[in-house]
Structure 1
């Protein structure tokens, strides 16, 4: 049984006049409430967890209340004596109604609900979809259009952040530099509660992932092949991060503090208050983090014709950093009428960091004899302030799924950074650079989604969305030479304004015929992009891009046998990968490391991918298994190419290029099993290969186009072992393995990581103390060999050393549980928090 509870009957309180309110309030206070309890069971007398039990007072609705059963099917609450209509609802069970006279405190006994599996006359439930469900204690479950990961059972990431949680999510991997990928593809689209969010920043990378505490995350939805209702960007898929909200009537919450080594500290809280038609929530916290990293490279330059070595260049980098972050999200939801609700929320996020980077630059001749030595010292600081406001209005025309939802999201992110770099030759100052970057990102997202049931098993959905994004980049790079002459480097300084408007519309139809479910959808998106660049000396350039794409999707499901939990799934979708805005900036934005620069490519075009999946899903009480075969064909694929700045130059420049086509294929296998009452495992394996072909050409640095061909195969394996020592003590041991991978321009070696975690429940289940060790063996690093015209480079990167963390959680008012939120959209999200409900069959 899942913890996603669909509840259509919520207590409604209406104001019928001042005198009536005062009179009813007086009567309410005059009544003495009594404690009642009971249990919900099925026909085999098994407990039904997370069922909604609603007590409607027949004389006065103000005396009505509701409760949510716990894991053992039990509930309790306080009621005023009187006559009550009792409604019981739970997923996979028929709605039950009964009447009860309550006069005194006591146990009401067992109420029995009937399973829905024998029913053949489903109505609106049929078009809401078949969901493959599991017990709420399982960390991983499979649904028709996504996989859902629950971090509450993840001991290893306790006291950590979103990046730590993602390292444990099936089908997802996090590289040593914080890059997130799905099935070997790093073009992942992140959503917060079903929409793009300033909480992750705009173009903020790993720093943004580290600023979201793990304790604020309710669940993570992994959507590898989204339907047409989703925005079409993100060729690898979508990661939808669902944050915690209200769980019960009255005041509820938790506070989590953690302390770790390098060191790291954090304090976070989740608070909610629910009363009548109003639900308020506040999530917030902050922390301090210290990091250490290292990166080494050894480059051999050679004659492209004779392949004879001409010289060597070695770099050894050591980086130390300190960062502070805080974020707060607050909002409310109110039921205006029985059919209309309104929600409003706001968010603020601040992140700041300081870094100290030292790089040794060593030049050798062809015989590996030292020619010169220099050291670069770079001090940097950065800050980010992000704001976001969301408003939404949801209306139900009736109780059969005829709905409309409107939402608006306003976001702003301000990023500032400074980098002061100096190079010394044999301890003698050579030259220095000073870089200042100020980036302002603004975004407006408006949406309308409409749902219309057609008969008992069909539904038509349609909607419109507009994304308006403006990114304003200001770069000012200056340098000081040996004679202490200061000057601005015009080629590396200027202003770039990236303006993007995306208009999108979609329509999709879903239905079911006997055991076959299907959904057909089509999405159209028009992208209008304008890039204006102006250097300090007045040189200007303007690039406009306007293109329209059509993105169909097809989802099929077939029920195998009589068990709805066994399904064969086949789906197809078309996606787009628009270049990120800073990939289009046509000049290097930093001079801190003069030998290794990054420069954008304003001629970069979007990539398109056709994605196919064939999956089989089985989910039983003791185990789940979900093998999926997939194939993706990408056109105008984007690769990062490393080239010399000019012929014979020691300076290497990394730039993105459209290089041709690439095909990806593989097997994604996920498994959970309760082997013994004290031992559970969660395993995942991704076996994938690729083949690419094409060419790239840069007239400023190349005389002829270079071909880009390659193929390879790699693996990613993860095994999490969970041990229940006793009722209060649990432990986890996790192993991760990433196989070596070869591309057309690089080869990486394999890597393995071992993590450990333990937690103990204290203070009568109101507290939890947790401890974990990340990278026990100190093996989390990336070894790569890069190849290019006239050079070969071996590099090693380690993002952070072994870390320890201990956290303490205190929960309060957890006993006052009531019904779960009604199934309706929340701003940009549905009841699952996703941008859409996908293809229910």
Structure 2
């Protein structure tokens, strides 16, 4: 496995400059990209977060002063797979086998949909949601490693914004999609739009069925002895996604919009585990049956007033969202010595979120652009755990140690201002965000309450210098925060199995990170090259810590580290090798140092990680399109050990029948190499946990565009290259 990782990483790092040289030789055969300024806004504003400059149609990669934007319209894995599958092909982004997302090695990432937060991506179920939600309605992925002060500072790694597809063609149009795999997975959806004068109606409906088999092994050595735990789990479930939207132009300058959304994710899991040990704890076998459901409902209203000039506008947004999560399970544990145990567990988490946001943008203020706004958010959480045990079914009694209720409210009141101005070839954007946070927690069962009110400011700075029409230098700084999640603060222990417990820490403090970047960008015709050096310094890093409770039983909780530092160099190349072959490759050399001395572990530890990805597209004929993409993620440091590298290779083929109909075939995890291995190695505890799943599958699908007007181009051609700058 280590040799495979080294080869993957070395290939990505070597390929980046080599493809750049090959690109230069091939440019004479490739048409130059269209060059131009920002286009006028269409009838309905795109779903992208404001700020990306667009030049050319369907650019694979775009950039602006504070972000990069990647098209997934030509990613065949996104056509048939989940959002997690689409993110795995995005530079800087990593997604492990459990759906956990990280950005340049930092898992504290904020995920938005069309610039707005979603309850589906909060809490422990975020990884499940990313692996269950289909990606076929995602148009672009925006990556902001140093967002400006106009954005919330949550997420020390930065922001990933999922931009959904928007169609504003006159008349009625729509798209029908369906895909099925060789292992019983399938998904489908329909989207439609109706445009008539001042009125625009849009809607989406999607369904995804997942089934997967997973394996987990845990080898553990403690003072009590050695143990081995093996489990096999079968997961099956469905995801439903519904959305309806309306835009109405009240006047030529005023637009009123509304949207309703409903998402449901429902999974059933059965598991069989065996536990063997040399210690005093008895061996056992364990059978589990669990049902999980997550409902997400939201309604929002928007108003936009356009002043004279396309960039002078005032917007207001009001949204209410409710997310209900439940997990109920039964377990039977057959001990080799002593009485057997039947267990019933229930876990519920309900969240209500209300958000009001207003933004004002005005150009030509002292020769620059001024943006300011208010952002208020009120969040209420209700966590309810209950458990009962007994020697047989129907004879269980309530277990107080596994029953508790936790209430948590968080209100955030924020105001921001940014100002951007060009001084010849030099551009500067400065910003400041001020936030007042009010937190109230109530551990109802234990009678514990706590409050935490604080005021903080978050500055940002972005600089750009244009050397010539092809070369640009950029620098940036931002301060970010990682607030503890609700479940991180609940002190009651959550029972996972006889050997594993999890608990929160009500004394957790927010993690604050200062992030610096310096980059060089080259763009000419279809070629785009980017080199970025970055450095992050964090105080009070929130991390998992594992403690031995005795008899081989472990408790995982959350703690604040003293500090952490990391930095690295990221290389990205995008362009054309021949008139029919395009590529996108990236590599990241990442250094990380953590200080866990305050937790009683060895003081400062450091490690260097290599990761990379490559995507090659071949337009064999006007109707036949082939694709291969691969990635590898290097070794990642943890306070008590590390996580092993992982990698994946995907293949794809698309056949365009006509302008309305196309078929697609994809092979996911073609080499069957995707796995997750975590190692804990301290003087008193050694633990190796390996998780694998039958990710490999072949998908068959089709897309049919219907309705009036010319259908949206399939965008086979990457020739327009990267834009912006």
Q: Report the TM-score, using the length of structure 2 for normalisation.
A: 0.89
Trace 1:489-528 onto structure 2 (pairs within 5 A): 489-528=399-438
Q: Is the 8 A contact 1:708 1:744 kept in 2?
A: no
| Structure 2 equivalent of residue 289 of structure 1 | 210
Give the superposition deviation at 1:814.
6.5
Find the aligned partners of 2:365 and 2:677 in 1 and give their Cα distance: 58
The answer to whether structure 1 residue 92 and structure 2 residue 2 are counterparts is: no
Q: Cα–Cα, structure 1 residues 362 and 163, in superposed 2: closer, same or farther, change >3 Å?
A: same
Give the superposition deviation at 1:136.
3.4
Give the superposition deviation at 1:299.
0.7
Find the aligned partners of 1:602 and 1:201 in 2 and give their Cα distance: 18
Find the aligned partners of 2:529 and 2:635 in 1 and give their Cα distance: 26
Q: Among 359, 370, 386, which residue is 1:460 paired with?
A: 370
Q: Among 459, 465, 470, which residue is 1:558 paired with?
A: 465
The answer to whether structure 1 residue 681 and structure 2 residue 583 are counterparts is: yes
Q: Is the 8 A contact 2:52 2:62 kept in 1?
A: no
Query: Residue deviations 1:477-518, cap 9 Å, x none?
Result: 111147985221212211101100000001121111111110
Q: Cα–Cα, structure 1 residues 452 and 742, in superposed 2: closer, same or farther, change >3 Å?
A: closer
| Structure 1 equivalent of residue 225 of structure 2 | 311
Trace 1:3-152 onto structure 2 (pairs within 5 A): 91-92=36-37, 135-152=56-73
Give the superposition deviation at 1:47.
11
The answer to whether structure 1 residue 661 and structure 2 residue 560 are counterparts is: no
The answer to whether structure 1 residue 770 and structure 2 residue 672 are counterparts is: no
The answer to whether structure 1 residue 754 and structure 2 residue 649 are counterparts is: yes
Q: Cα–Cα, structure 1 residues 351 and 93, in superposed 2: closer, same or farther, change >3 Å?
A: closer
| Structure 1 equivalent of residue 718 of structure 2 | none
| Structure 2 equivalent of residue 254 of structure 1 | 175
Q: Is the 8 A contact 1:292 1:319 kept in 2?
A: yes
The answer to whether structure 1 residue 353 and structure 2 residue 267 are counterparts is: yes
Find the aligned partners of 1:553 and 1:814 in 2 and give their Cα distance: 46
| Structure 2 equivalent of residue 209 of structure 1 | 130
Give the superposition deviation at 1:429.
6.3
| Structure 1 equivalent of residue 23 of structure 2 | none
Give the superposition deviation at 1:787.
2.0
Q: Cα–Cα, structure 1 residues 801 and 339, in superposed 2: closer, same or farther, change >3 Å?
A: closer
Find the aligned partners of 2:531 and 2:54 in 1 and give their Cα distance: 16
| Structure 2 equivalent of residue 476 of structure 1 | 386
Find the aligned partners of 2:675 and 2:186 in 1 and give their Cα distance: 24
| Structure 1 equivalent of residue 703 of structure 2 | 809
Please tell me the root mean square deviation across aligned C-alpha atoms, in Å.
2.5
Find the aligned partners of 1:579 and 1:644 in 2 and give their Cα distance: 23
| Structure 1 equivalent of residue 608 of structure 2 | 713
Give the superposition deviation at 1:329.
0.7
Find the aligned partners of 1:385 and 1:736 in 2 and give their Cα distance: 33
Aligned to 1:158, the other structure's residue is in SS state: helix
Q: Among 522, 529, 553, which residue is 1:651 paired with?
A: 553
Give the superposition deviation at 1:696.
4.2
| Structure 1 equivalent of residue 715 of structure 2 | none
Trace 1:257-276 onto structure 2 (pairs within 5 A): 257-276=178-197
Find the aligned partners of 2:459 and 2:39 in 1 and give their Cα distance: 36
The answer to whether structure 1 residue 637 and structure 2 residue 547 are counterparts is: no
| Structure 2 equivalent of residue 443 of structure 1 | 353
Find the aligned partners of 2:406 and 2:678 in 1 and give their Cα distance: 33
- Which 10-residue stretch deviates more, 578-587 or 209-218? 209-218
Q: Cα–Cα, structure 1 residues 454 and 140, in superposed 2: closer, same or farther, change >3 Å?
A: closer
Q: Is the 8 A contact 1:134 1:621 kept in 2?
A: no
Find the aligned partners of 1:461 and 1:238 in 2 and give their Cα distance: 20
The answer to whether structure 1 residue 614 and structure 2 residue 559 are counterparts is: no
| Structure 2 equivalent of residue 333 of structure 1 | 247
Structure 1: tracts of 5 or more residues without a match: 1-45, 50-89, 96-127, 303-309, 698-704, 819-839
Structure 2: tracts of 5 or more residues without a match: 1-30, 41-48, 713-723
The answer to whether structure 1 residue 363 and structure 2 residue 277 are counterparts is: yes
Find the aligned partners of 2:375 and 2:637 in 1 and give their Cα distance: 40
What is the number of residues matched between the two proteins? 677
Find the aligned partners of 1:211 and 1:241 in 2 and give their Cα distance: 15
Find the aligned partners of 1:322 and 1:373 in 2 and give their Cα distance: 29
Q: Is the 8 A contact 1:244 1:270 kept in 2?
A: no
Find the aligned partners of 1:483 and 1:132 in 2 and give their Cα distance: 63
Give the superposition deviation at 1:773.
1.1
Q: Cα–Cα, structure 1 residues 170 and 483, in superposed 2: closer, same or farther, change >3 Å?
A: closer
Ranked by relative contact order (alpha carbons within 8 Å, sequence separation 6 or more), the top structure is: 2
Q: Among 724, 748, 751, which residue is 2:619 paired with?
A: 724
Bigger Rg over Cα: 1
| Structure 2 equivalent of residue 831 of structure 1 | none
The answer to whether structure 1 residue 409 and structure 2 residue 319 are counterparts is: yes
| Structure 1 equivalent of residue 504 of structure 2 | 600
Q: Is the 8 A contact 2:592 2:637 kept in 1?
A: no
Q: Cα–Cα, structure 1 residues 316 and 394, in superposed 2: closer, same or farther, change >3 Å?
A: same
Q: Is the 8 A contact 2:120 2:323 kept in 1?
A: no
Find the aligned partners of 2:638 and 2:105 in 1 and give their Cα distance: 12
| Structure 2 equivalent of residue 833 of structure 1 | none
Find the aligned partners of 2:637 and 2:143 in 1 and give their Cα distance: 26
Q: Cα–Cα, structure 1 residues 200 and 711, in superposed 2: closer, same or farther, change >3 Å?
A: closer
The answer to whether structure 1 residue 185 and structure 2 residue 112 are counterparts is: no
Give the superposition deviation at 1:156.
2.7
Find the aligned partners of 1:351 and 1:211 in 2 and give their Cα distance: 8
Q: Report the TM-score, using the length of structure 1 for normalisation.
A: 0.77
